[in-house]
């Protein structure tokens, strides 16, 4: 996995036109048959706090798909440079039937490409099936900061996710360099912006930052533990970097009978609230426990 990041270091961005997007979406998909790895999954559950043995963590297959995503983004068909990408959103639309103990056929492909004020925003679509049955579908959106622009692309418009107005606090987020480096080993996400202050500065960050997917996974875990939810759809937006070491508080509020909003914000009393991530979870309540 680390070798993929070394390869990615030499991949340069190039210009492309709106007409190239269609061919990009037709580019060969990448496929892999993943065998069960119970030891790895247990480590992931441990670092994210997941204790539900009957349901797989909804963000786990996203982590397992990372090597395929890297291969896709660094492929000759891709006009994007891998290093310096910013993960700006993640949505999971199907995951409740996933299992960690049987093989999984995983597929990644490019989705839509948008014009962003700082470059391009592009989707990487991840789907998975087990025993021929679709069990997982997700879309990661990445920001490629570049000087290039292309006419004819749709503008990137971020969904407006309101912060919880009335709700409770979840377990505080405590991000340490040691913990994040451990997550990097488990997830395979060795993006230099997470590993050290020196490598993070090369890509424009004053310090190393926590993985957004680790932070989100901790929040989803706590929501499941405290609200006994069976999720149907999860939408996450990554707003600001959580620098290491860093502490934050997670808040959740119920918006409708089967929907919740959540956010991770700064834990100090400041007039201007810093939002690190926010999102929504649509669920079915499986218990009356609140």
* pLDDT confidence of residue 192: 82
Higher pLDDT, 287 or 48: 48
Mean pLDDT, residues 86-104: 89
For the ranges 10-14, 91-95, 204-208, 265-269, the lowest mean pLDDT is seen at 10-14
Hey, which bits of the chain come out as E strands?
30-34, 86-94, 104-116, 119-130, 133-145, 168-169, 173-175, 229-238, 246-256, 259-266, 275-285
Mean pLDDT, residues 51-77: 87
* pLDDT confidence of residue 8: 55
Higher pLDDT, 118 or 269: 118
Could you tell me the sign of the dihedral formed by the alpha carbons of 234, 240, 245, 246, in that order? Answer: negative
* pLDDT confidence of residue 3: 57
Quick one: CATH architecture of 1-146?
Roll (3.10)
For the ranges 114-118, 169-173, 228-232, 249-253, the lowest mean pLDDT is seen at 228-232
pLDDT higher than 80, residue 135: yes
pTM: 0.88
pLDDT higher than 50, residue 290: no
Length of the chain: 290
Higher pLDDT, 4 or 289: 4
pLDDT higher than 60, residue 1: no
**Which token pair is 65?**
């798909």
- pLDDT, tens digit, 9 for 90 and up, residues 164-188: 876 788 889 999 999 999 999 998 8
For the chain, the average pLDDT equals: 85
pLDDT higher than 50, residue 258: yes
245 prior amide bond cis, ω within 30 = yes
* pLDDT confidence of residue 288: 42
C-alpha span between 246 and 180 (Å, rounded)? 11
Q: Are 103 and 32 within 8 A, CB to CB?
A: no
* pLDDT confidence of residue 4: 57
Mean pLDDT, residues 74-85: 81
* pLDDT confidence of residue 101: 87
Q: Which residues contact 134 (CB under 8 A, 6 or more apart)?
A: 94, 127, 128
* pLDDT confidence of residue 46: 95
pLDDT higher than 50, residue 259: yes
C-alpha span between 117 and 147 (Å, rounded)? 10
* pLDDT confidence of residue 228: 58
3-state secondary structure of 206: coil
* pLDDT confidence of residue 289: 44
Q: Which CATH class is domain 161-290?
A: alpha beta
pLDDT higher than 50, residue 56: yes
How much of the chain exceeds pLDDT 70, in percent?
89
Q: Report domain extents, the chain.
A: 1-146, 161-290
How much of the chain exceeds pLDDT 90, in percent?
41
Q: Which residues contact 148 (CB under 8 A, 6 or more apart)?
A: 13, 14, 15, 16, 119, 120
- pLDDT confidence of 239, banded at 50, 70, 90? very high
């Amino acid at each position: 996995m680390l070798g993929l990041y070394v390869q990615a270091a030499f991949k340069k961005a190039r210009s492309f036109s709106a007409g190239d997007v269609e061919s990009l979406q037709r580019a060969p998909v990448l496929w892999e048959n993943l065998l069960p790895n119970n030891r790895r999954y247990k480590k992931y559950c441990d670092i994210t706090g997941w204790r539900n043995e009957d349901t797989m963590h909804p963000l786990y297959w996203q982590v397992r798909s990372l090597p395929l995503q890297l291969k896709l983004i660094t492929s000759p068909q891709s006009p994007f440079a891998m290093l310096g990408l910013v993960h700006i959103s993640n949505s999971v639309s199907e995951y409740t039937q996933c299992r960690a103990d049987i093989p999984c056929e995983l597929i990644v492909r490019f989705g839509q490409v948008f014009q962003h004020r700082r470059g391009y925003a592009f989707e990487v679509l991840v789907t998975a099936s087990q025993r021929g049955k679709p069990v997982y579908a997700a879309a990661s959106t990445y920001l490629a900061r570049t000087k290039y622009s292309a006419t004819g692309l749709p503008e990137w418009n971020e969904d407006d996710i309101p912060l919880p107005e009335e709700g409770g606090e979840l377990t505080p987020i405590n991000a340490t360099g040691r913990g994040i480096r451990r997550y990097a080993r488990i997830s395979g996400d060795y993006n230099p912006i997470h590993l050290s202050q020196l490598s993070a500065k090369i890509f424009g960050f004053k310090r190393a930052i926590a993985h957004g997917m680790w932070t989100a996974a901790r929040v989803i875990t706590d929501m499941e533990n405290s609200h006994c939810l069976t999720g149907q759809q999860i939408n996450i937006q990554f707003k600001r970097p959580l620098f290491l070491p860093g502490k934050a508080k997670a808040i959740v509020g119920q918006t409708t009978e089967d929907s919740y909003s959540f956010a991770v914000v700064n834990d100090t009393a400041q007039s201007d609230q810093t939002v690190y991530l926010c999102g929504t979870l649509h669920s079915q309540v499986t218990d009356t426990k609140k």
